[in-house]
Structure 1
Amino acid sequence: MHRPHLLFLDAYDSFSNNIINLLQQDLNATVQVIKIDDKRFAETDDACFHAFLKRFDAVVAGPGPGDPRNPHDLGLIGKLWHLPEEVCLPVLGICLGFQSLALAFGGTASRLHQPRHGLVTEVSHQGRSLFQDVDVLMATQYHSLHAKLGHNVDKTSPDLWRATSNCPDIIPLAWDLSDDQNGPILMGIRHTSKPFYGVQYHPESICTSSAGAQIIHNWWSEAFGWTVNQAAKAQNPTAFHLSIDVESCDANSESGDDSASTSSSLFDAVNPTVRDTTATTPAVTRDSSRMGRPASSRSVSWKCIDTASSPVDVAALLQNLQDINQQAVLLESGSKNGQPVRPETGRFSIIGCVEDAPSIKYSTGNHIITSSLSGTRSSYTGSMSDIWSSVETFMAANKATDGNTDLPFWGGLVGFVSYEAGLETIDVAQPENDDRPDVWFVFVSRSVIVDHVERKVYIQSLEEKDDHWFEKAGNTVKELSKEPASLDKPGLPIPAIIAPIQDEYVQKVEICQSHIRAGDSYELCLTDQSIVSHDESCRPSSFELYQRLRTRNPAPFGAYLRLKDSNKEGNKEGSKEESKEENKKKIKEEKGNAVTILSSSPERFLSWSRAGKCQFRPIKGTVEKKDGLTREDAEKLLNVDKERAENLMIVDLIRHDLHGVVGSGNVKVEKLMTVEEYQTVFQLVSVIEGQLQEGSRHTGIDVLAASLPPGSMTGAPKKRSCELLTEIEGKARGIYSGVLGYFDVGGGGDFSVVIRTAFQWENEGVWRIGAGGAVTVLSSPIAEFEEMDLKRQSCLPSLGLQSLSSVGSR
């Protein structure tokens, strides 16, 4: 059979790339993608769109947020159903596209009594058309609205499978008959004479059974047959093609979404000129200098010290290696009773010595990039695209290949990307934001790696002839006291706290649910922040607070990160009296840009190996670890629709993000909704992996850039969900909800999600602790507040607050 050349209309959904992957893998199709509001066709007369459609064998109208009754939400999808006969071609509508098809031929749409997001149910059918040879079909649903054809009969009535007087041209093909509250829900349809088909459920979801792929095959089989018949009717098949120059319809059109410039429809099968257009799009704007990577320019020197006799206290090691009141970098894999809490993801701890290290910063508030990576400090206006380009250029120029392959980090850039920086990458307008850095990375050329499993310490350097460093670090390791540092100081005053008010948070949960019921989102990850301040007269050091946090809540992605501008220039005394004020101002600015992060995150966002293997580990679903609660109990509590739906939606979202870079056929779900135990909670965790292909122009940096903000902190669809959350929360999240980690000079990387974390800007003098949870229609607003409170309790005791009941909330 002819290899199909398909057009996919993307309605800004966070699962689109998964559908494209299904089309490419199961139909061996080439797929071209345009947005539903593509300016070349949405803002011109229909002739341009009609001419463009003639390039394709068929169209898939994808899912997306919104209402099929709103033309703005449909965009170009709405133009498909009434094409002139000479332009008509097969269409498969999915979710929003399905609902649009039903409405175009007399159907209606209304809200479900209870929306169905991330729910997996059996779809009933009679084995016709799309469902021929399909046995039991378990399908994932993501919808708040449903299409109606005018059936007012019992679910056992044979009339359920017939066209209605309201919609005589639409034949029902499938129903969900399992929902007593909502009644029969239409799941599949076809037009009686035109090649239009639709399914309400998501055939591409990881939890939709293999029969989901079969309906794609059946659709293409029927579409192929229809097209062959149409071609046979026409004496001259080329008469179907319009002689309009599509590109001339909009001289300023963006050609990035339209890379197949030659016609490659079924009519050209005898002399195919098909160009394989995949769903992948570059996450980073590239220039020619990035395409040719320089040869290795760094050499890694390293030395191993065996510490098998006793575990190493990495916090004490950091403290003895450098002045922690200046800059300090510690990425710690937490331990309990001398053993790593989760060796699978938390085997190594990394200490970076970063005194006067080159750095790069960026603020979304003023769009200023400040960088000393080139050796000289410069500031200029830029964007996140420029940040990614600078990072990749720098890492390529500092590439190393001769380090110890057992270690994940040989040196490189360490730092964070804020939530707001992630918003910029998906073009979401931000709340009012100050000019503090949203991206900050420092270059680590000297490091110490602690292997908690093998109980070995590795000293590393990227500098030439660095014998002095090796001697100093080696002596420090050998002389290090094996006794852990003391923790709580008795009599520490209780700090003041400004905390979320329960009634206000509950109201925000209800607003989220109203948006979900309207079809604007599948789930929304609502968050808020607590602000903790200590009296200056008895303020504990940030490192003391981190020591408490790492002991009370050891986690595989712990971190103590203290970053500040070099104050060499600021400390120079001016020769004139008037320069004193300038020096004071400069010092104040530098102090304002100093930040300290105390993290006990359990969640890996993204890692990638030097060989290009990428891994996401989203956490969604939480149960408090109360006395007497066993793992078996936790598994039962987490094996409910609400918890599983939360996790499933993020898994499908991450698959979409990853498919968009590594391409179709290169993404796998290695673990789906397994329970993991942590210090204070049990959580539902999934593992999604992808492989960057050898010779690809993409790197792990591209995967990171394409995946922010973390889906587990936004909801789905990501873009629309972030827009709603920005409005509902009303303030910037900052470092919380962003990512923290490193780019390794060997080519790997590892980033955690910034949760269970406190951070402080030095000129502000307060600690900010964010917490939240995924809101679905199944959420209890009170329970959502309690979950948020539970999560922030992982940090608050380490700051001197045993419970909020003793201090109250604002």
Structure 2
Amino acid sequence: MTYPTAEHQPHILLIDSYCSFAYNLAALCKKAVPSSILHVIKNDSHTIYDLLPTLCQFSAIVVGPGPGSPDIFSDIGVVRDLWKVADEYMVPIFGVCLGLQSLGLEHGASLYRLDTVKHGQVSVVHHTSTDIFKGLRDVKVVRYHSLHIRLKDGGEIEELAWTEEDENGKVVMGVKHATKPFWAVQYHPESVLTDEGGLKMVENFWNLAKSWNRRNRPAFIPPPNINLPHSHIWPRVYQRHLPHISHELLDSVVFATIDVPNLSIANLCEYFGADDSPKPFVFLDSAASPGRYSILACISDSSPQITHYVNEAFIEVATGTSKQRHDLAGKGFWDWLDEYRDSRRVVGGDSRIPFWGGFIGFLSYEAGFGALNVPVRRQKGYRNVNHPDVNLVWIDRSIVIDTTCSKIWVQSLLPEDVGWVQTTLRAITNLPGELKPTPAPRGDAIIKFPDYAQYIAKIKSCKEYLFSGNSYELCLIDQTHITVPKEATISTWERYKLLRSVNAAPHGAYLRLHPTTFLSSSPERFLSYSRSPGTVCQLRPIKGTVRKLPHITREVAEEMLAGSKKEIAENLMIVDLIRHDLHNAVGENVVTKKFCGIEEYEHVWQLVSVIEGSLPDGTPVEIDDTLGWEVLRRSLPPGSMTGAPKKRSVELLQSIEGKERGPYSGVFGYWCAGGGGDWSVTIRSCFLHDSKKDGDEEWVIGAGGAITALSDPEDEWEEMKAKLNGVLRGFGASC
């Protein structure tokens, strides 16, 4: 593809080896060389013969990190051939992590496993103060590697930097080729915890590259354009699709507010049909701090419910009276939903609240596989007994409750709907304030936990993949099945009230969107985004939890969590992964607002980081308006539920776990018709399929944990059980 550019801007080729940190490296390169034009390719998208015609048009090449081993062709791809091109094609190259290992291996170095794996670990690197380390003191860096090289005595590769540590001895951290313009580092200069030496080192590489080009390519002038098929320029901006012309555009929100002291949210839900189990019902529940706004959807027979299975080429739209299939016609379901919502955009709602109407529902874990190019293989009849990957309902009428002050908004997207708004306000004021007691769970449920021996074996399998360099962190989960005998069943709404009473959460949900009943007490927000103009996307990964006890003060929790290498490493890996996902969608404007801060929740202390991203000033409103949806598309599945690198981790977990996750570890939430959205991670949740509720009910809960090189299998088993307990208590059980 040819891109128009300003004359004489340098072109840099970034080779992505399917790493979840590649766009962090792109952002670092752009910061070091602001005038550069960055072209990105995958390491298996071209052969060396594909690249040779355009290779010498680049001013430099950056070989990014990636999973696997440099001696496996499917892991390293075209990179291994770059080190051996003839002089007339030679271009300065800077390698990172896997790039350093490949450079060394192709020039006589030997490859070994570290005795102690370094994934998400901070080390001090010593160096010669020359070449890419010129002008730097010892640097504090982040490492993600289980493999390392030992250089050949008297070989072509010279050591520039190293670490010295008790567990691994001396480890090569930086190298250069003796005669060719090749430099590389083992660590990650783009990580959020690598100090300012990361930027300075890339600037040094660029100065070395320019000097080499002047000496060895004196006639070289960067071309205005480079035509390299199967590449893209970063950052990239996505254009909106045209809206569906068959849908009427609703212009303005009708709303009114009222203060209702001592409001019973349960009574409010029951007035609007929470107990009417055959009908759909949607309630997003901020039942605990730091949650604030609860959203009750007022669903009617005309409310469209939209479902999709990712192995099918159509979307179903159902109302209380009809069901239609819409052929996707070659487009993805993300684009179809974007167009659907775009045709119903509104203005004029109260800017103080985050939701005016729009989509509410859930997206499964597998709904994110398309962005990773990971296939989902399903047998015929899958939809009959499994949950949809997309299960959303379009909400025209809704009620929003500010739980901090009992203020209520009643609102409608329908034209001339003032009568319904006023009637609903009067009904709310007449609701009883007292709450009917929720009966204690009977404890008749039969619980089938994951098999202990199999789970321990899966943890060990994960660790072997970590030691071999295939992943830095694998978020392993398994399923627990709950059977409630027919004579002990209660309504699913009563079940949710039980769950809410024993495990109130800031991101709770009761979704009855057939064929799925979805109960959640999630503590973790995944992604929120504000309305345009100036949309800001915020992600808040949680890794690290300490239960509140009388002796566990904030100071004690901070010492336990922030002082734990394992907890910090888990959080760091996900922060770096999320920064990559955001850089992919928005470009350079990504900021880590908080790293591993301690936050207080109802029952626990959590280790939380906050990352934000936005498009550049001056971005057209129609692009800014859909930014949050684009970030969601490019960020699923949640990194806190996969590990890193994301694509390889998802593929490995498919094999290790042996079954699909479904709704668990996907997301649920909303996308407002006026812009903005909020999606939470589907954890601490349980699900019931319509095919499993005639007679005995069969519920499913997912739980697990992030497996790292520091994980102890017994501790991981206990952590998985601890995470189950919050939901199990809603069934009168525990483990």
Normalising by the residue count of structure 2, what TM-score does the alignment of the two structures yield?
A: 0.92
Residue number in structure 1 paired with 2:242: 289
Which consecutive residues of structure 1, in runs of 5 or more, have no partner in the other structure? 151-163, 248-254, 259-276, 336-340, 565-593, 805-810
Residue number in structure 2 paired with 1:695: 620
Residue 280 of structure 1, CA deviation: 3.3
Q: Distance in 2 between matches of 1:496 and 1:127?
A: 65
Q: Distance in 2 between matches of 1:49 and 1:292?
A: 43
Residue 318 of structure 1, CA deviation: 1.0
Residue number in structure 2 paired with 1:606: 527
CA contact 2:311–2:376 (8 Å) conserved in 1: no
Q: Tell me, what secondary structure is at the counterpart of 1:209? A: coil
Q: Distance in 2 between matches of 1:205 and 1:37?
A: 24
Residue number in structure 2 paired with 1:502: 452
Letter in 2 for 1:695: P
Select the residue among 353, 359, 377 that pairs with 2:298.
Answer: 353
Cα 1:489–1:608 change in 2 (3 A) is same
Cα 1:606–1:292 change in 2 (3 A) is farther
CA contact 1:295–1:399 (8 Å) conserved in 2: no
Q: Distance in 2 between matches of 1:320 and 1:291?
A: 35
Q: Distance in 1 between matches of 2:195 and 2:417?
A: 58
Equivalent positions of 1:352-751 (< 5 A) are 352-356=297-301, 357-372=303-318, 377-380=323-326, 382=328, 386-430=332-376, 432=378, 434-435=382-383, 436=386, 437-489=388-440, 492-564=442-514, 594-611=515-532, 612-638=535-561, 639-664=563-588, 666-693=589-616, 694-695=619-620, 697=623, 699-751=627-679
Letter in 2 for 1:714: T
CA contact 2:250–2:413 (8 Å) conserved in 1: no
Q: Distance in 2 between matches of 1:415 and 1:186?
A: 50
Equivalent positions of 1:207-286 (< 5 A) are 207-232=193-218, 237=220, 255=229, 257-258=231-232, 277-280=233-236, 282=238
Letter in 2 for 1:6: I
Residue 538 of structure 1, CA deviation: 2.1
CA contact 2:305–2:317 (8 Å) conserved in 1: yes
Residue number in structure 1 paired with 2:132: 130
Residue number in structure 2 paired with 1:576: none
Q: Distance in 1 between matches of 2:235 and 2:240?
A: 21
Residue number in structure 1 paired with 2:717: 785
Letter in 2 for 1:443: W
Q: Distance in 2 between matches of 1:418 and 1:391?
A: 15
TM-align CA RMSD: 2.4
Q: Distance in 2 between matches of 1:6 and 1:750?
A: 36
Q: Distance in 2 between matches of 1:510 and 1:76?
A: 32
Cα 1:288–1:365 change in 2 (3 A) is closer
CA contact 1:521–1:716 (8 Å) conserved in 2: yes
Residue 704 of structure 1, CA deviation: 0.5
Letter in 2 for 1:104: E
Task: Kindly provide the CA deviation profile for residues 85-118 of structure 1, in whole angstroms up to 9, marking residues without a partner as x.
Answer: 1111100010001110011111011111111000
Residue number in structure 2 paired with 1:569: none
Residue 385 of structure 1, CA deviation: 5.2
CA contact 1:314–1:349 (8 Å) conserved in 2: no
Equivalent positions of 1:10-29 (< 5 A) are 10-28=16-34, 29=36
CA contact 1:321–1:473 (8 Å) conserved in 2: no
Percent of matched pairs sharing the same residue? 40
Residue 623 of structure 1, CA deviation: 2.5
Residue 656 of structure 1, CA deviation: 0.4
Q: Distance in 2 between matches of 1:79 and 1:295?
A: 56
Residue 467 of structure 1, CA deviation: 3.8
Q: Tell me, what secondary structure is at the counterpart of 2:214? A: helix
CA contact 1:430–1:726 (8 Å) conserved in 2: no
Q: Distance in 1 between matches of 2:245 and 2:490?
A: 50
Residue 606 of structure 1, CA deviation: 0.5
Q: Tell me, what secondary structure is at the counterpart of 2:169? A: coil
Select the residue among 681, 684, 687 that pairs with 1:756.
Answer: 684
CA contact 1:430–1:732 (8 Å) conserved in 2: no
Cα 1:683–1:706 change in 2 (3 A) is same
Q: Tell me, what secondary structure is at the counterpart of 1:763? A: helix
Task: Kindly provide the CA deviation profile for residues 357-385 of structure 1, in whole angstroms up to 9, marking residues without a partner as x.
Answer: 11211013444421259x97422554995
Q: Tell me, what secondary structure is at the counterpart of 1:793? A: helix
Residue number in structure 2 paired with 1:34: 41
Q: Distance in 2 between matches of 1:608 and 1:410?
A: 14
Q: Distance in 2 between matches of 1:704 and 1:764?
A: 31
Cα 1:383–1:510 change in 2 (3 A) is farther
Letter in 1 for 2:726: S
Residue number in structure 1 paired with 2:259: 306
Letter in 1 for 2:135: D
Q: Distance in 2 between matches of 1:214 and 1:237?
A: 25
Q: Distance in 1 between matches of 2:129 and 2:97?
A: 20
Letter in 1 for 2:469: G
Residue number in structure 2 paired with 1:176: 163
Q: Distance in 1 between matches of 2:191 and 2:274?
A: 50
Cα 1:553–1:489 change in 2 (3 A) is closer
Task: Kindly provide the CA deviation profile for residues 375-419 of structure 1, in whole angstroms up to 9, marking residues without a partner as x.
Answer: 974225549952111211111111111000101000001111001
Residue 73 of structure 1, CA deviation: 1.1
Task: Kindly provide the CA deviation profile for residues 583-634 of structure 1, in whole angstroms up to 9, marking residues without a partner as x.
Answer: xxxxxxxxxxx21111111111111000311000111122333453222222
Task: Kindly provide the CA deviation profile for residues 641-699 of structure 1, in whole angstroms up to 9, marking residues without a partner as x.
Answer: 111000000000000001111111x1111110012233343221111101134317352
Q: Tell me, what secondary structure is at the counterpart of 1:86? A: helix
Residue number in structure 2 paired with 1:153: none
Task: Kindly provide the CA deviation profile for residues 699-748 of structure 1, in whole angstroms up to 9, marking residues without a partner as x.
Answer: 21111101100000000000000000000000111100000011101111
Q: Tell me, what secondary structure is at the counterpart of 1:661? A: helix
Letter in 2 for 1:545: R
CA contact 1:368–1:380 (8 Å) conserved in 2: yes
Q: Tell me, what secondary structure is at the counterpart of 1:773? A: strand
CA contact 2:637–2:665 (8 Å) conserved in 1: yes
Residue 764 of structure 1, CA deviation: 1.2
Task: Kindly provide the CA deviation profile for residues 746-800 of structure 1, in whole angstroms up to 9, marking residues without a partner as x.
Answer: 1111100000111111211311111111000100011111111111111000112
CA contact 2:599–2:608 (8 Å) conserved in 1: yes
Residue number in structure 1 paired with 2:285: 332
Q: Tell me, what secondary structure is at the counterpart of 2:454? A: helix
Which consecutive residues of structure 2, in runs of 5 or more, have no partner in the other structure? 1-6
Residue 453 of structure 1, CA deviation: 2.1
Q: Distance in 2 between matches of 1:428 and 1:121?
A: 34
Aligned length: 705
Letter in 2 for 1:607: S
Residue 498 of structure 1, CA deviation: 1.1
Q: Distance in 2 between matches of 1:389 and 1:708?
A: 15
Residue 295 of structure 1, CA deviation: 11
CA contact 2:599–2:606 (8 Å) conserved in 1: yes
CA contact 1:348–1:450 (8 Å) conserved in 2: yes
CA contact 1:34–1:257 (8 Å) conserved in 2: yes
Letter in 2 for 1:674: G
CA contact 1:48–1:246 (8 Å) conserved in 2: no
